[in-house]
Amino acid sequence: MHTQNQAAPGSLECVRRFINTWSIPNQTRVEVDDLPLLARDADKWRKELLLHPRAESDTLERLLELRSDLRKSCEGVDDGNHLLNAWLALAALSVQVKPGEGGAPELCVTPADTSYISNILASVANAISSGTWLRLKTCDDCRWAFYDKTRNGSKRWCGMTKGGVEGRACGTIAKVSAFRARAAAKKSPMVDGG
Residue 104 or residue 165: which is nearer to Zn ion going by CB?
A: 165
Total number of residues that touch Zn ion (CB under 5 A): 7
Half-sphere exposure of 108 (CA within 13 A, CB side): 9
Residue 39 or residue 170: which is nearer to Zn ion going by CB?
A: 170
The reply to whether 145 sits near Zn ion by the rule CB under 5 A is no
CA 97, 100, 106, 107 torsion-angle sign: negative
The reply to whether 144 sits near Zn ion by the rule CB under 5 A is yes
Phi-psi region of 93 (alpha: psi -120 to 50; beta: other; left: phi over 0): beta
Who contacts 125 (Cβ-Cβ below 8 Å, separation ≥6)? 88, 93, 95, 107, 109
Binding to Zn ion in span 64-123, by CB under 5 A: none
Residue among 111, 117, 141, 155 that touches Zn ion (CB under 5 A): 141
Residue 23 or residue 115: which is nearer to Zn ion going by CB?
A: 23
Residue among 14, 74, 122, 160 that touches Zn ion (CB under 5 A): 160
Residue 97: alpha-carbon gap to chain centroid: 27
Quick note: the x/- pattern for Zn ion over 169-188, rule CB under 5 A, is: -x------------------
Residue 116 or residue 147: which is nearer to Zn ion going by CB?
A: 147
Q: Least distance (Å) from Zn ion to the CB of residue 138? A: 8
Taking the CB of residue 169, how many other CB atoms lie within 10 A of it?
17
H helices present in the chain, as ranges:
12-19, 35-40, 42-49, 60-75, 80-90, 116-130, 172-186
Q: Least distance (Å) from Zn ion to the CB of residue 64? A: 22
Q: Least distance (Å) from Zn ion to the CB of residue 162? A: 12
Residue among 138, 142, 147, 155 that touches Zn ion (CB under 5 A): 142
Gyration radius of the chain over CA positions? 20
Residues that bind Zn ion in the complex, under the rule CB under 5 A = 139, 141-142, 144, 158, 160, 170
